[in-house]
Chains A and B, each alone.
Chain A
Amino acid sequence: MKPLKFLCVLLCGMTSVYNSPAQDKLNIKFGKITPQDFDLSKYHFDSSASAVIIADMGNSAFEGNNKGGFSLVFTHYRRAKIINKNGIDIATVEIPLYKSGNNEEKLQNLKAVTYNVENGKVVETKLDDKSVFTDKASKNYIIKKFTFPAVKEGSVIEYSYTQSSDFFFNLQPWEFQGGYPRLWSEYEVTIPEWFRYVILTQGYQRFAIHTNNSIAVHYQVNVAGVTERNDMVTLDGNATDSRFVMKDVPPLKEENFTTTLANHIAKIEFQLSSIQFPNSVAHEYMSNWPKVNEQMMEDEKFGADLQKNNGWLSDDLKNITNGASTKVGKAEKIFNYVRDNFTCTDHGRVYMDNNLKTIFKNKSGSEAEINLLLVAMLNHEDIPSNPLILSTRHHGKTNEIYPLMDRYNYVICDATIDGTSYFLDASEPRLGFGHLPEYCYNGHSRVISKELQVPVYLEADSLKEQKMTSVFIVNDEKKDGMVDGSFQSQLGYFESYDLREKISKKTEKDFFKEIKIPNSQDVDIENGNIDSLKQPDFPATLHYDFAFKNAFNDDIVYFNPMLTEGYKENPFKAAERFYPVEMPFTSDETYILNMEIPKGYTVDELPKSTKVSFNETDGFFEYLILKDDNNIQLRSHIKLNRANFSADDYSSLRDFFGFVVKKQSEQIVFKKKK
C-alpha cells in the first residue's frame, strides 16, 4: 500500500497529547534495575519455565510525518529473565520489517542491554550497533536480528525499539501469549478518529485492564514542495486510546489435536477499515461480502472465465459425459475425468495463474485452478456450481463478518444436483465424489457467486468416521498347536483415504508385510486383500488371514484380544490444556473378536466387562467379554459424538482415553491343561 497521497497538504513534527489512565501501571523503567529485581520468587508462573518475560509493553500511535502524511509508530519494550540455559534463545531477537517496492518500515532507537549480578552488583553489557544483522528473508520482509551479549543463566535482558511504518494496514498486532510465561503484557493503541480499524481479539485469557478513552489530539504534518507559507498543516481532533493488559499469562505449547496454535494464543489484531479526513471523502479499505463476491467473479484470476459460456469445452464434455443418463451420473463422470486426468501441482491457492483454457490444455494446475475448471465444466452441463473458498485447518480460522481475504487458502467446488449440495475437490487423486479432505473441515467458508452469497460451515463435528473390525480365531485342526485367524476391518472414509495414499506409495504386498500382530513373534500373514482400494467413492475394507505358529506352547499364555487394534497409548499427554481439543471428526469404532479357546488350554483369567460414558451423552466406551467352554467373545466399542471439546472437557477426555488404553491393554490368561 502506498503512503496516502491526499494528505500532501500536511506538515511534519508531531505532538500527540493524551492522558493514560494512571491506575495499575507497571512500575518499570529501562535501565532501572537492582539486584532485587532478579528475584522473581514473588511471582507465580510455570516452575518448569526456562525463561520468563517480566514485562512486555507495546505502544502504537500515529505521527504526522514530513512526507505529507502520517506514519504509524510502534514502540516495544521488553524485559525478560533467563532462568536456565534452555531459555537462552530468548536472548536472540528478530524484528520483521515490511517492505514494498522502495518503501520499507524503519527500525529506530534500538537499545538492548544485558544485566548480570556480579559480586552483589548489577553489571550491564550493551549491544553494539554492528551486532545487529539484516536478513533479507523474502520479497516483502527483511528481518533485523541480534543476540544479547554476555548472557548466561540468571541474566536479565532488556530491549526497546521503535518501528515506523507508512503501511497503515500494518498496525502491529500484539501477542499476549507465547512459549514463555509473561508476567505483564500490555499494549496501548491510540487511533485518531480519521482512521478506522476493526479490532479482532482471540484467546482464552482475560484482560486484567482494558480501557478505552477518548482524548484530544493535535498533529502537525509537513509537506515539501507546496507553497512556502502554507507547508505546515495542523490537524486537531479526537482519538481513541485503548489499553490492554494481561497478567501472569501461561505459555502455550502445541499438543495433539490442534488445528494450529495461531488460532488459540491470546492476541489482538487490527484490520484497516477506512480512512476519512475532515472535508474529504472516506476511503474504504475493508470490503464486505457482496463487494468481494462481485470483485472475485469479475477477476481474471478467479471468476471471470466462469461467467463465460466456455463453448470450447463442448466437444470434450460430450465425450466425457457420454453414456450418463442422470445429472448425478454426469457430474460424477466430469469429476472423475478432472480428478484422473489432471495433475495438481500446488495446494493452498485461491487465485489462478492461467486461464481455464490453458489449464485444460496443460492438464495440470493448482487446486484452485483444477476446481475452478470443474465449476466451469459442471456449469457448462447445466449443473449449477459455484466455487467455495475456505481456509485449511492448519492455516487457521476465517472471519465470518469481515472478508479478510488473506485468511483463505483453498478453493473447492460446490455443485447443486437435484436440490442436494455436493462438495467436490478434484485436486486429490484418491478422493471420491462428494468427499473433501479432512483438512477442509475448518468451520466458516464462503460460496463465491454473484447471485448466491452465503457462508457455508464445514464442521468436523458433522463428520462421522465409522470403523468396524471383526476377528475370528480358530484352532487349526490339521496342524496341532497352530491357531489361525481371519481379520476384517471396514474402515472409515478418512482412514480409507489415508490407506489409499499409503499404498499408492508402495505395494499392497509391502503393506501387509508390515502388519505386526502382537502376542507372538511368529505370525504368518496371508491372503491380504483390500476391497474398494481403487474405488475412492467408497470406504475400503481390509482383510487378511493369519496363523500363530508358536504362540501356544508355554504353560501360561498371555493374549491381548485387541490384536492390532485399540489405543496403545493415551493421545492426551499433557496434564492440563489451555485451549480446545480439535479432533478431525467424530468417531465410532467397533471391534469384535470371536475366538476358539486354543486346544489344550483353559481360560485362567478374563478381563472384566465394563461400560463408561463420557460426559453423559458425548460418547461412551463399552468393553464386553464373555466365554463359554469353547469360545471367547469380545466387543469393544468407542463412540465420540463430538470432534471439538472445550478446554474444560480436557481432563475428563484424558481420563476417558486413559481408561480405554488401560482396558484395551488387558490380557486373557490361558493355562495349559494338565
Chain B
Amino acid sequence: MKLVFALCLLMMPFVSFAQHFQSNDIPDSLKKNAGLVTRYEEEVFEIKSPGKATEHERHVYTILNEDGDYVSTYRSRYDKFTSINNITGTMYDASGKELKHVRKKEMEDVSGTGDESLITDSRYKICSFNNRTYPYTVDFEEEDDINGILDFPDWVPQGINKASVEDTKFVVIAPKDYVLRFKPVNCSFQPVITEDGGKKIYTWERKNLPARNKEIFAPSPIQIIPYVMIAPSDFEAQGYKGDMSTWEGYGKFYYELLKGRDILPEDIKRKVHELTDNLNDPRQKIKVLYDYLQRNTHYISIQLGIGGWQPFDAAYVATKRYGDCKALSNFMVSLLKEAGIKGNSVIIRSGANETSMNSDFPSDQFDHVISCVPFEKDTVWLECTSQTLPAGYLSSFTANRYALLVDEAGGKLVHTPKYGLNDNQEIKKITATINEEGNLSASINTMYKAERQDHLEQLINYLSKEDQLKHLKSSIDLPTYDIVKFDYVQHKEILPPSITETLELNAPNYAQASGKRLFILPNVLTRSAIKLKQDEERKYEIELKDEYRLIDSVEIKIPGGFQVEALPRDMKLETKFGKYITSTRVLPDKIIYYRLQEQYSGKFPPSDYSDLTRFYDEIFKADRSKIVLVKKE
C-alpha cells in the first residue's frame, strides 16, 4: 500500500507534464525581469527514521535569456551520507520537442574537492546543457538515499536568481509520530497535512510568482524572501544522536563530537606553560597563545565523513600544524585549557552579509566555527583561521550576529560584537601643494579602523606589493597621477585594530589653470560615488547595514598672488541615514578643507527612498564643487 502511494506520487508528474513545457505557454507576467521561469518544481523528502531519508526532486526550467543559463547545468552532490539512486536530464526546444536526454551513467562524475579543500568525500554528478537558442527548457530529476541526517533542506519557493515561478511544490513525508519542526519565514505558508497509514504528509505549494527586481540597500534575502525552514527533532548520523528542538540540544550534540579531542602532546603542553606561566593576566595569556596559534598553524580543509562536523583532535593539529576552522578552534580551546583558561568553540554563520539569522528556530544555520573566552563583563573572540587578525577582534566576516556557543551544558545563543560609528572610521589627512601649472603633489595619511580596515587587512597580508599597488590604484579616482610611494602599517595593540596608509602621489593638471584663474577641487580623494536611481519603484525596506564615519582634513598650499573668486558652500546635512558636513576656507597661502560623513545603520520604510536618494545626491554634488582662485592684478 505504502509503496503504491509513493509510486503514484513520483510517477504522476511524468505522465501529465512530459509534453507540456512549451515556451509560448508562459504568461508575460512571468517573463518580466526574468532570465528563467521555474515551470515546475517538486521536492519530496521522506523521513524514514531519525537517521534515514529519501529525497525525490524534479526541476523544470525554461530559460529565456543568458541570465537564466546558469540553471542549464545541474550539479548534484553526493557523499558518505547521500547517495544518488537515479538522476536524469532532458533538454527541450521552445516547442517542447526533446533535444537531448542524459542518463546517470552518461553524466560527468567529478570530485567535489575544489580549491577550498585539500580533500573531501563529496562528489558531483554534473549534467550540463549548452544551448544558445532561447528559449529552451531543461528538466532534471533525481532520487537520493540519505543515511545520516544532520539537517533538512529548507523550502525556498523562489530561491534562485532572476527566476519567476509557475509552480513549485514541497512535500515532506514522515512517520506519524515524528515531530517535524517547521517555520514559515517572511510569509505564513502553512502545509496541507494528510495522513496515509502510518505516515503524515505535509505539502506546501506556490504558483505564479513573478520575478523579483533587485533593489539597492534592500535587506538580505533571508529577511525578505518567503521560505519555510524545516528541521529535525531527533536526528542521527554515524552513531551520533541529537535533538535539534532546542539550541541546547544542538550544542550538546556538537559537544559530544568534541569530547576527548582536546588532549595535547607533551611538547605542546610544555610550550603552553613556557609561554604563559609567567603571566598573570588571563587576557595576556590568551593573546600569547593566539599569537602562538597564528604563527604555527594555517588553514587546510579536510572533510571526510563525520569529519565534516567533527574536528581533528588537538594532537593532530599539534603535529600537522594545520586544520580547518573547527579543528583550529578546538586546538585553540585546548591550548587555553592547558593554561587554565576556559574557552569555547562557537558555531557561526560567516560572511559580511550574513548577519541575520532565525534565532528562534534551532536548526543548522551555520557554516563556520570560531572560539571565544567569556569573561564576566565581556568576551574575547578569536578567529582561529586567520594568521593576521589581532586577538579579540572579529572582522565583518563574523561580527554582529547570533552564534551558538558550545559547552558541557549544551549550547546557548550568544551575540558577537557589533562595530559601530566610533569603531568603523576612516580618517584621512592630506597635505598637498599645487603649483602655478595646477600640478598637485600630496602626502596622504589615512587611518582605517575596525570594519573599514577588514578588506585592506586581507590585501596587505595576502597580496604581493605589486598587486597591492594595483588595488590601490583602482581605488583612486583621478584622471592622471603617479604614486611615488605607499606603505601600510597594521596596528593590532589597541582594539579594534587599525591600519595606517601613507601615500605620496603627484597628479599633473589636478587644478585647471585657465588664464588667470585656477580651479581647485578641495575634495581630492573621497568624492562619493553613490548615485541612486530615483525613478525605480521601491518594494522593500531600506537597510543600511554598515555604520561608519569618514573624516577628511585637507590642506593644500597654493601659489602666491591669488585671491578667492568663488568658494563651495559649507554643508551641514543631518538626516536619519547619516550626517554630512563640509567646510572650505582659503588663507593667503593655503586652502583648508574639512569633510565629515557618517552613515547610521538601521531599517527604513520604502517611502524613505526618495529622501535617501536626495541625501546622497547632495553629497555627490557637494563633493565635486570647486574653488575658483583668480590672480591678483
Determine the distance from Cα of A346 to Cα of B72 in the docked complex, in whole angstroms. 12
Contact of A137 among B66, B111, B296 (CB under 8 A): B111
| Chain B residue contacts of A428, Cβ below 8 A | 132
Determine the distance from Cα of A364 to Cα of B90 in the docked complex, in whole angstroms. 13
* Contact indicator A85/B298 (Cβ below 8 Å): yes
Q: How many interface residues does chain B have, given as a range?
A: 35 or more
Determine the distance from Cα of A345 to Cα of B113 in the docked complex, in whole angstroms. 27
B-contacting residues, A420-477, CB 8 Å: 428-429
| Chain A residue contacts of B113, Cβ below 8 A | 135, 145
A343-B136, A506-B65 known; A364-B119 Cβ under 8 A: no
| Chain B residue contacts of A202, Cβ below 8 A | none
Determine the distance from Cα of A347 to Cα of B128 in the docked complex, in whole angstroms. 12
| Chain A residue contacts of B466, Cβ below 8 A | 48
Q: Is A597 an interface residue (CB 8 A)?
A: no
Contact of A149 among B129, B320, B515 (CB under 8 A): B320
B-contacting residues, A124-165, CB 8 Å: 125, 131, 133, 135-139, 143, 145-147, 149-152
Contact of A604 among B93, B97, B110, B514 (CB under 8 A): B514
| Chain B residue contacts of A662, Cβ below 8 A | 480
Contact of A347 among B100, B130, B320 (CB under 8 A): B130
* Contact indicator A671/B514 (Cβ below 8 Å): yes
* Contact indicator B320/A131 (Cβ below 8 Å): yes
A135-B111, A136-B111, A345-B99 known; A152-B295 Cβ under 8 A: yes
Q: Name the residue on A nearest B136 (C-beta).
A: A343
* Contact indicator A85/B461 (Cβ below 8 Å): yes
Contact of B514 among A50, A125, A152, A605 (CB under 8 A): A605
* Contact indicator A429/B462 (Cβ below 8 Å): no
| Chain A residue contacts of B463, Cβ below 8 A | 86
Q: Is B519 an interface residue (CB 8 A)?
A: yes
Determine the distance from Cα of A401 to Cα of B67 in the docked complex, in whole angstroms. 43
Binary CB contact string for chain B from 505 to 522 against chain A (1 if under 8 A, 0 otherwise) = 000000010110101000
* Contact indicator A133/B118 (Cβ below 8 Å): yes
A-contacting residues, B478-504, CB 8 Å: 479-480
A345-B91, A345-B131 known; A85-B320 Cβ under 8 A: no
Binary CB contact string for chain B from 86 to 118 against chain A (1 if under 8 A, 0 otherwise) = 000001010001011000000011110100001
**Least CB distance, A568 to chain B, in whole angstroms:** 10
Determine the distance from Cα of A137 to Cα of B119 in the docked complex, in whole angstroms. 11
A86-B462, A343-B93 known; A556-B480 Cβ under 8 A: no
Q: Is A535 an interface residue (CB 8 A)?
A: no
Contact of B387 among A48, A85, A133, A506 (CB under 8 A): A85
Q: Is A558 an interface residue (CB 8 A)?
A: yes
Q: Is A592 an interface residue (CB 8 A)?
A: no
| Chain B residue contacts of A521, Cβ below 8 A | 531
A-contacting residues, B530-555, CB 8 Å: 531
Determine the distance from Cα of A344 to Cα of B118 in the docked complex, in whole angstroms. 37
A86-B462, A665-B480 known; A504-B65 Cβ under 8 A: yes
Determine the distance from Cα of A604 to Cα of B512 in the docked complex, in whole angstroms. 11
* Contact indicator B130/A48 (Cβ below 8 Å): no
* Contact indicator B65/A364 (Cβ below 8 Å): no
Q: Is B322 an interface residue (CB 8 A)?
A: yes
Q: How many interface residues does chain A have, given as a range?
A: 35 or more
**Least CB distance, B31 to chain A, in whole angstroms:** 11
Q: Is B241 an interface residue (CB 8 A)?
A: no
* Contact indicator A152/B296 (Cβ below 8 Å): yes
Q: Name the residue on A nearest B515 (C-beta).
A: A604
* Contact indicator A135/B119 (Cβ below 8 Å): yes
| Chain A residue contacts of B134, Cβ below 8 A | 504-505
Q: Name the residue on B nearest A343 (C-beta).
A: B133
Determine the distance from Cα of A85 to Cα of B300 in the docked complex, in whole angstroms. 13
* Contact indicator B298/A88 (Cβ below 8 Å): yes
* Contact indicator B110/A344 (Cβ below 8 Å): no
Q: Name the residue on A nearest B134 (C-beta).
A: A504
Q: Name the residue on A nearest B300 (C-beta).
A: A147
Q: Is A272 an interface residue (CB 8 A)?
A: no
A150-B321, A344-B130 known; A50-B136 Cβ under 8 A: no
Determine the distance from Cα of A136 to Cα of B79 in the docked complex, in whole angstroms. 13
Q: Is B576 an interface residue (CB 8 A)?
A: no
Determine the distance from Cα of A436 to Cα of B119 in the docked complex, in whole angstroms. 42
**Least CB distance, A349 to chain B, in whole angstroms:** 11
* Contact indicator B465/A48 (Cβ below 8 Å): yes
* Contact indicator B67/A505 (Cβ below 8 Å): yes
Q: Is B220 an interface residue (CB 8 A)?
A: no
* Contact indicator B132/A429 (Cβ below 8 Å): yes
| Chain B residue contacts of A92, Cβ below 8 A | 118, 300
Determine the distance from Cα of A165 to Cα of B99 in the docked complex, in whole angstroms. 41
Determine the distance from Cα of A321 to Cα of B132 in the docked complex, in whole angstroms. 26
Determine the distance from Cα of A504 to Cα of B531 in the docked complex, in whole angstroms. 29
Q: Name the residue on B nearest A521 (C-beta).
A: B531
| Chain B residue contacts of A665, Cβ below 8 A | 479-480
B-contacting residues, A335-367, CB 8 Å: 343-347, 362-364
Binary CB contact string for chain B from 5 to 31 against chain A (1 if under 8 A, 0 otherwise) = 000000000000000000000000000
User: Which of A125, A343, A555, A671: most chain B CB closer than 10 A?
Assistant: A343
Q: Is A669 an interface residue (CB 8 A)?
A: yes
Q: Name the residue on A nearest B119 (C-beta).
A: A133
Contact of A669 among B99, B296, B512 (CB under 8 A): B512
**Least CB distance, B321 to chain A, in whole angstroms:** 4
* Contact indicator A86/B480 (Cβ below 8 Å): no
| Chain B residue contacts of A505, Cβ below 8 A | 65-67, 134
Determine the distance from Cα of A343 to Cα of B129 in the docked complex, in whole angstroms. 11
Contact of A558 among B130, B470, B512 (CB under 8 A): B512
User: Which of A135, A137, A146, A573: most chain B CB closer than 10 A?
Assistant: A135
Determine the distance from Cα of A363 to Cα of B91 in the docked complex, in whole angstroms. 13
Binary CB contact string for chain A from 284 to 312 against chain B (1 if under 8 A, 0 otherwise) = 00000000000000000000000000000
Determine the distance from Cα of A663 to Cα of B127 in the docked complex, in whole angstroms. 50
Q: Is B464 an interface residue (CB 8 A)?
A: yes
* Contact indicator A150/B480 (Cβ below 8 Å): no
User: Which of B66, B134, B322, B515: most chain A CB closer than 10 A?
Assistant: B322
Could you list 17 A-B pairs, sorted by A, with CB under 8 Å? Answer: A86-B464, A133-B302, A147-B118, A149-B320, A150-B319, A150-B320, A151-B321, A152-B295, A343-B93, A344-B130, A344-B131, A344-B132, A364-B100, A506-B65, A556-B514, A605-B514, A671-B514
Binding site for B on A (CB under 8 A): 48, 50, 85-86, 88, 92, 125, 131, 133, 135-139, 143, 145-147, 149-152, 343-347, 362-364, 428-429, 504-506, 521, 555-556, 558, 573, 604-605, 662, 665, 669, 671
Those 4 A-B pairs whose CB atoms lie nearest each other, nearest first: A505-B66, A133-B119, A150-B321, A149-B320
Given contacts A125-B321, A504-B65, A556-B519, 11 further A-B contacts (CB under 8 A): A86-B464, A135-B119, A137-B110, A137-B111, A150-B319, A343-B93, A364-B100, A428-B132, A429-B133, A558-B512, A665-B479
